[in-house]
Structure 1
Amino acid sequence: MHGRVIRVGDMGEFALIDRLQRFLQAPSGSQVVKSIGDDCAVLQPSPESELILTTDSQEEGVHYRLDWCAPEDIGWRCLAINVSDIAAMAGWPLGAVVALSLPPELDVAFVDGLYTGMQELARDMACPIIGGNMTKTTGRVSVTITVLGEVPKGQAIYRSGARPGDEIWVTGTLGGAKAGLEALLQPDAVAGLPASHALMCYRRPQPRLHEAQFLRQRATLHSLLDLSDGLSGDLRHICQASGVGAQIEADAVPIHDETRRIAHALQADPLSFALHGGEDFELCFTAPPTQIDPIRGDFDQQFHRSLVRVGTIRKGKEVTLKQPDGSETVLPARGYDHFRPAEG
């Protein structure tokens, strides 16, 4: 963002669209029949596939702050959240369309950075950006992304299939994004502490797309989702959709050492970060007891991260937290809700 400032309002909608076309070229061999330049993008999946679709809006001041994240980070993050939803169905992305609401005085270099970040992830995830829309806003920057994906026919994994006796598993550690957010909110309290892992979790979440494919192909999963609203909130989604209850084991929940140190510096409970923090975008899934142990070694070796069993699906409707001393308490669903006040 150096040199002469070119403002969005000076350039105009169509010149800006022309400028962005260099970011929107579909790779050779993709399933894109028609990209930018018409009323719709056209995608051709195989006859044996089912299409899946997700969309999400990210608002400045609600989901990110411009003084906390580079434009490239914001672009990455906005696309990652949608690709993670595709992973949560055990699918694979085909393409993305991006809708922007921009103030006319915004520096065009910011928009370039936004698309650079999206394109970095798009290449990693084979999810070409194939078009979109933009409009003027008198408020703050808003980014809405829709991703179309596919999954082999009959192989999508839903939230609604969990069964009593299933084990509950997660990929990787939890609470990192919450630790990163708190480090940005309270920099003085964590000054001098390592925070690179936590900040990366917040700024550049990693969709577990390849991990979901591995699990779908190597094991029987009864339910699957991505952890956007915190383990306590998202597990409740599985239980409600499946008509079951669950028990989480407090001492089994995986927490990165950096997350623990940041939480302690803030006089907070690291377990609360992991259970309720949200935006980790790890996978949470349930499977029969014999399914996951045989593939854990291969998973760890391929993805350099661990599958961790955190609890069990049970009959009933309650979701409980089992402490190391054997006591159990009801686990409240305290994940993020846009329209309810945040709880402490």
Structure 2
Amino acid sequence: MLRRVATRWHERAGVPVGPGDDMAVIEVGGARLLVAADPVIEGVHFEPGTHERRVAAKAVHRNCSDAAAMGAIPRATIMCVMLGQGCDQDAAERLLDALCDTADAAGCPSVGGDISVHDGPTTVAVTLIADPAGAEPVLRSRARAGDDLYVTGVLGGSMVDENGYIHHLDFSPRVAVGRALVEDASLRPNAMIDLSDGLARDLPRVLEASGGLGAEIELNRLPVREVVAGQDGWRRAIGDGEDYELLMSCSSAMPATIRGVRLTRIGRVVADGGLRYLTGDGRCFTEAELSGLGWEHGR
């Protein structure tokens, strides 16, 4: 379906970046704004009974993660809240308060939206407006053969309860890291994406957008979340999804940390197409062999 949307897109004046990246870029009155929209749906992105503050955090922060991937600063949100029939007045008010509080804390206050009640699951759809703040947005389409691939943080286990911390609900978007990368020319990546569907799904999007490049991932270098580390922890790292970390393609060596966040080199971009996963014992998995890993709607 995403490819179908992309085929309907044609270049338009005032829209330097359209469908296919983490955010669209539009020109308004001589200035550039970045825009993205993401929903969270009860039963899909969060379980029934999830605390309203966690629902709000995920709804706002997953949009902020898109801004981080472009190196932009979140500025404002527009929220459409569709309350399920089972959501009573008190729960609805707690959710709305939590959404406003979370957006305020993230620097992107709610400036409007809509509220409705329907027979389906409670759904929060957030549109984020972000500011490039003088920096050229980083696109996912400019990786180069020979680039090294880096990720922030750790991967996998996003839905595991770690003593009360559940990453896909409680994560902090890497906005500060994204800004640091675009504000220092020596650190700026050629391409970047946020890992929402898992490395196995999101890296191919960068490679395809960059002209059909390939990549080699060194599985023994993946920073795996400790709670799922083990013999096949790498499968969780590339396939669980909802990491909301940054994957970047870089021409120069990167520091071990940026703004206190760990960076790990996990592989490289190559000229020939195809994605290969290399083990430490000489084995190699192809993209096709691991095609079942990563998040895909309707599967």
2:247 to 281, 284, 288: 284
Give the superposition deviation at 1:258: 2.1
Name the counterpart of 1:190: none
Q: Deviations over 1:165-204 (max 9, x none)?
A: 10000000001314x2xx5xxxxxxxxxxx237x431221
* Alpha-carbon distance in structure 1 between the residues aligned to 2:171 and 2:143: 26
Question: Is 1:62 aligned with 2:44?
Answer: yes
* Alpha-carbon distance in structure 2 between the residues aligned to 1:47 and 1:134: 30
Residue pair 1:277, 1:335 contacting (<8 A) in 2 also: yes
Name the counterpart of 2:295: 336
Name the counterpart of 2:183: 217
Residues 160-309 of structure 1: pairs in structure 2 closer than 5 A:
160-178=141-159, 180=160, 195-196=162-163, 199-218=165-184, 219-243=187-211, 244-260=213-229, 269-288=232-251, 290-293=252-255, 296-297=256-257, 299=258, 302-303=259-260, 305-309=261-265
Name the counterpart of 1:319: 275
Residue pair 1:58, 1:144 contacting (<8 A) in 2 also: yes
Q: Deviations over 1:199-251 (max 9, x none)?
A: 43122121111110011112121001100000111001000001210000001
What is the TM-score with the length of structure 1 in the denominator? 0.72
1:156 to 108, 126, 137: 137
2:166 alignment partner, SS class = helix
2:120 to 126, 139, 147: 139
* Alpha-carbon distance in structure 2 between the residues aligned to 1:144 and 1:276: 25
Residue pair 1:164, 1:314 contacting (<8 A) in 2 also: yes
2:60 to 79, 84, 87: 79
* Alpha-carbon distance in structure 2 between the residues aligned to 1:105 and 1:132: 21
What is the TM-score with the length of structure 2 in the denominator? 0.83
Residue pair 2:65, 2:244 contacting (<8 A) in 1 also: yes
2:158 alignment partner, SS class = helix
* Alpha-carbon distance in structure 2 between the residues aligned to 1:155 and 1:134: 35
Cα 1:176/1:119, change in 2 over 3 Å: farther
Give the superposition deviation at 1:120: 4.0
1:176 alignment partner, SS class = coil
* Alpha-carbon distance in structure 2 between the residues aligned to 1:120 and 1:235: 33
* Alpha-carbon distance in structure 2 between the residues aligned to 1:252 and 1:105: 46
Residue pair 1:167, 1:309 contacting (<8 A) in 2 also: yes
Cα 1:274/1:111, change in 2 over 3 Å: same
Give the superposition deviation at 1:57: 1.5
Residue pair 2:73, 2:133 contacting (<8 A) in 1 also: no
Stretches of structure 1 lacking an aligned partner (at least 5 in a row): 1-44, 184-194
Residue pair 2:190, 2:249 contacting (<8 A) in 1 also: yes
Structure 1 segments, 4+ long, off by >4 Å, are 45-49
Give the letter aligned to residue 230 of structure 1.
G
* Count of residues in Structure 1 that have an aligned counterpart in Structure 2: 267
Name the counterpart of 2:69: 88
Give the superposition deviation at 1:153: 5.4
Residue pair 1:50, 1:153 contacting (<8 A) in 2 also: no
Give the superposition deviation at 1:48: 7.2
Give the superposition deviation at 1:47: 7.2
* Higher relative helix content: 1
Give the letter aligned to residue 84 of structure 2.
P
Residue pair 1:49, 1:151 contacting (<8 A) in 2 also: no
2:113 alignment partner, SS class = strand
Q: CA RMSD in A?
A: 2.1
Cα 1:206/1:87, change in 2 over 3 Å: same
Stretches of structure 2 lacking an aligned partner (at least 5 in a row): 1-26
* Higher relative strand content: 2
Give the superposition deviation at 1:144: 0.6
Give the letter aligned to residue 248 of structure 1.
I
Give the superposition deviation at 1:270: 1.8
* Alpha-carbon distance in structure 1 between the residues aligned to 2:56 and 2:249: 31
Give the superposition deviation at 1:311: 0.5
Name the counterpart of 2:102: 121
